[in-house]
């Protein structure tokens, strides 16, 4: 085996934290965001400038000004409005490019991290959990950036703009704004809170309904087979009933509090205008009719901004939650430590177990208990034993998916702990106990993970896996779609495709976990023969319940309760008249 040490100063302890990560993500987009902010400020200026213009026009009318002046104001208004379109587009383009790219990078980062997580991490967390992080959480972070930045910026700008404009045109009104705006904001927010709560409840109920619907679809076979359709329907209608009830409740809330909020909002503008009028009538000099119009508009505008800002609260809290959830994955410690380890480039694939013990957390007895064994290059070793005896665990230890609790697994004499297992696994093919297929064609399922296989190679692999006959039966041949998770293939066909996928890579180490369990004895025998024929070109570890499968093995290891209780070839073991011969006799009868 040739090995090359790779120096990686960062080592296995790379722990990204979200704050710095997010800041890093904006790298390359910061200039873009700055220009976007300027464009946004200019494009939204009509919001607080238009009221000023309108108040000036009112004053012009009151003071019987000239038509020229009116034209100038009109022209200004047109310019003010016209600039909105191009600048808005500029803003959207720059901003969206930035945020979308950040989400893309975040998703890539997550996907990479997921590939570094230990296999055990995946046995602990559901697929939906992982999917949620990659899709929903990133979406929430995106939503956070998307709404908080523009909406927050616009509200703050409006607040500042309105106060400054009022301060310039009529400082006497500033106290009215200072009192009215917080009161209005608080009042309207208070009336909206029940609506927000109702909305939340409604959304939760819809989510429950959608998860029940998914569950119903995936369980349909079991449900029908057990004749419990009514139970399934009532589970769904129960959730649908919830949606109906909370939807109705929400409508009523919106009707009630929506109206109250609206009245409060309008009343506030009215009171502000009245207040302004009192100040004007009370003899404060210089207050014009236009100023009062301006005041009315600003109170509405400012209250609106305050409301938007408070409305951002749930988006902000969802965004922060999502960021936390993403950070927890990026920070996850249960990684497969490969960084900076020895890279394998030409392994013989001699696998040695030296007194290996493995205990799953939460299990009292170890699943593998003091096992020593060796798989020689070109050797064929079989594991047999009853269900739950620890065979798959042994295989996962050989693969480096699990790390021994005690003892060592060695690859060509080097502890697997010191090896970058990803480089080792390039020489390994596994057919796991459950053949995994993805939506795609037979060709894609066979060549998965590698490109550049010729048609001949694909056919050769299918031939060796005894899959050629049935593939030829399909009108589309190699390009036959296999359906979601291979649902359009039979169990045995799926196994053979999985086997072809393993063989096409010409592995040096082949690990088969019940790879032919779903096949009839005839097809199984064909595969066995072709595997045995080519067995010397690689190391093979095979797990099988059917003992005919393992007869040709150099060594058969009989596993019971995590221990190897017998070992030897078929004939030696039969002579021993022990556990193996017992199993063999029961199968032969």
Ligand X SMILES: Nc1ncnc2c1ncn2[C@@H]1O[C@H](COP(=O)(O)OP(=O)(O)OP(=O)(O)O)[C@@H](O)[C@H]1O
Query: Which residues contribute to the site for ligand X (CB under 6 A)?
Result: 123, 360, 362-363, 367, 385, 387-393, 433
- The verdict on 393 binding Mg ion (CB under 5 A) reads no
Q: Rounded distance, CA 7 to CA 330, Å?
A: 23
Comparing CB distances to ligand X, the nearer of 361 and 454 is 361
Stretch that binds Mg ion, among 43-51, 385-393, 440-448, 554-562 (CB under 5 A): 385-393
Stretch that binds Mg ion, among 151-159, 181-189, 270-278, 429-437 (CB under 5 A): 429-437
- Shortest separation between residue 557's beta carbon and ligand X, angstroms: 12
Q: Rounded distance, CA 454 to CA 19, Å?
A: 47
Per-residue binder mask for Mg ion (CB under 5 A), 42-81, x = binder? ----------------------------------------
Strands across the sheet with 509-513, in order? 428-431, 509-513, 539-543, 380-384, 555-560, 563-568
- Shortest separation between residue 156's beta carbon and ligand X, angstroms: 51
- The verdict on 158 binding Mg ion (CB under 5 A) reads no
Judged by CB under 5 A, the chain residues 432 through 451 that form the site for Mg ion are 433
φ/ψ (deg, to 5) at 413 = 85, -5
Residue 367: name its binding partner from Mg ion, ligand X, none (Cβ under 5 to 8 Å by kind): ligand X
Comparing CB distances to Mg ion, the nearer of 347 and 385 is 385
Comparing CB distances to Mg ion, the nearer of 513 and 566 is 513
Q: If residue 586 lies in a helix (H) or strand (E), which one and from where to where?
A: helix 579-588
Comparing CB distances to ligand X, the nearer of 467 and 547 is 547
Of 407, 443, 173, residue with least CA distance to 287 = 173
- A 10 A CB-CB count for 585 gives 12
Comparing CB distances to Mg ion, the nearer of 125 and 433 is 433
- Shortest separation between residue 382's beta carbon and Mg ion, angstroms: 14
- Shortest separation between residue 433's beta carbon and Mg ion, angstroms: 5
- The verdict on 392 binding Mg ion (CB under 5 A) reads yes
Residue 360: name its binding partner from ligand X, Mg ion, none (Cβ under 5 to 8 Å by kind): ligand X
Residue 212: name its binding partner from ligand X, Mg ion, none (Cβ under 5 to 8 Å by kind): none
- Shortest separation between residue 502's beta carbon and Mg ion, angstroms: 17
Q: Rounded distance, CA 304 to CA 51, Å?
A: 15
Comparing CB distances to ligand X, the nearer of 94 and 515 is 515
- A 10 A CB-CB count for 59 gives 17
HEC letters along 372-387: EEEECCCCEEEEECCC
- Shortest separation between residue 16's beta carbon and ligand X, angstroms: 27
3-class SS of residue 353: strand
Give the tokens for residue 145: 């950036």
Comparing CB distances to Mg ion, the nearer of 293 and 499 is 499
Can you tell me which residue has the tokens 């291979």? 486
- Shortest separation between residue 125's beta carbon and ligand X, angstroms: 12
DSSP string, 384-448: E--TTSSHHHHHHHHTTSS--SEEEEEETTEEGGGB-HHHHHTTEEEE-SS----SSBHHHHHHT
Stretch that binds Mg ion, among 88-96, 102-110, 348-356, 428-436 (CB under 5 A): 428-436
Residue 363: name its binding partner from Mg ion, ligand X, none (Cβ under 5 to 8 Å by kind): ligand X
HEC letters along 2-44: CEEECCCCCHHHCCCCHHHHHHHHCCCCHHHHHHHHHHHHHHC
Which residues contact Mg ion by CB under 5 A?
A: 392, 433
């Amino acid at each position: 085996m040739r090995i090359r040490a790779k120096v990686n100063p960062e080592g296995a302890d790379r722990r990204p934290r979200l704050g710095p990560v997010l800041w890093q993500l904006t790298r390359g987009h910061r200039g873009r965001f700055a220009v976007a902010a300027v464009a946004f400020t200019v494009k939204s200026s009509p919001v607080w400038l238009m009221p000023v213009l309108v108040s000036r026009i009112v004053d012009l009318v009151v003071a019987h000004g000239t038509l020229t002046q009116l034209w100038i104001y009109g022209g200004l208004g047109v310019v003010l409005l016209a600039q909105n379109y191009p600048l808005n587009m500029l803003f959207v383009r720059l901003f969206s490019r930035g945020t979308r790219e950040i989400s893309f990078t975040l998703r890539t980062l997550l996907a990479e991290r997921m590939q570094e997580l230990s296999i055990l991490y995946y046995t602990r967390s559901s697929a939906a959990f992982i999917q949620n992080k990659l899709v929903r959480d990133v979406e929430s972070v995106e939503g956070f950036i998307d709404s908080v930045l523009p909406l927050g910026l616009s509200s703050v700008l409006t607040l500042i703009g309105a106060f400054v404009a009022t301060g310039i045109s009529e400082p006497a009104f500033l106290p009215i704004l200072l009192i009215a705006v917080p009161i209005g904001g608080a009042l309207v927010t208070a009336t909206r809170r029940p609506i927000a709560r109702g909305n939340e409840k409604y959304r939760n109920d819809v989510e429950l309904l959608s998860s029940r619907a998914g569950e119903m679809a995936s369980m349909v076979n079991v449900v029908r087979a057990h004749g419990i359709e009514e139970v399934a329907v009532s589970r769904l209608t129960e959730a649908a009933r919830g949606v109906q009830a909370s939807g109705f409740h929400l409508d009523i809330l919106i009707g009630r509090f929506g109206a109250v909020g609206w009245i409060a909002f309008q009343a506030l503008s009215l009171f502000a205008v009245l207040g302004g009028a009192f100040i004007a009538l009370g003899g404060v000099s210089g207050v014009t009719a236009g100023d009062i119009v301006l005041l009315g508009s600003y109170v509405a505008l400012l209250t609106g901004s305050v409301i938007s800002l408070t409305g951002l609260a749930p988006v902000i809290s969802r965004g922060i939650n999502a960021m936390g959830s993403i950070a927890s994955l990026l920070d996850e410690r249960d990684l497969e430590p490969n960084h900076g380890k020895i890279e394998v480039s030409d392994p013989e694939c001699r696998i040695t177990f030296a007194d290996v013990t493995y205990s799953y957390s939460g299990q009292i007895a170890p699943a593998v208990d003091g096992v020593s064994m060796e798989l020689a290059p070109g050797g064929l070793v079989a594991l047999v034993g009853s269900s739950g005896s620890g065979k798959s665990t042994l295989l996962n230890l050989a693969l480096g998916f699990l790390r021994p609790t005690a003892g060592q697994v060695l690859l060509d004499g080097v502890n697997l702990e010191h090896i970058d297992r990803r480089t080792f696994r390039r020489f390994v093919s596994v057919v796991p106990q459950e053949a995994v297929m993805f939506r795609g064609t037979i060709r894609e399922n066979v060549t998965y993970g590698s490109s550049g296989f010729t048609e001949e190679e694909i056919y050769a692999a299918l031939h060796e896996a005894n899959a050629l006959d049935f593939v030829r039966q399909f009108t589309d041949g190699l390009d036959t779609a296999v359906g979601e998770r291979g649902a359009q293939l039979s169990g045995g066909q799926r196994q053979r495709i999985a086997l072809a996928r393993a063989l096409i890579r010409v592995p040096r180490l082949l690990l088969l976990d019940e790879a032919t369990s779903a096949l009839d004895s005839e097809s199984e025998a064909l595969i066995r023969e072709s595997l045995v024929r080519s067995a010397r070109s690689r190391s093979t570890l095979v797990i099988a319940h059917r003992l005919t499968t393992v007869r040709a093995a150099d060594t058969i290891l009989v596993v019971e309760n995590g221990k190897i209780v017998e070992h030897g070839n078929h004939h030696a073991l039969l002579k021993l008249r022990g556990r193996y011969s017992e199993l063999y006799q029961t199968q032969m009868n």
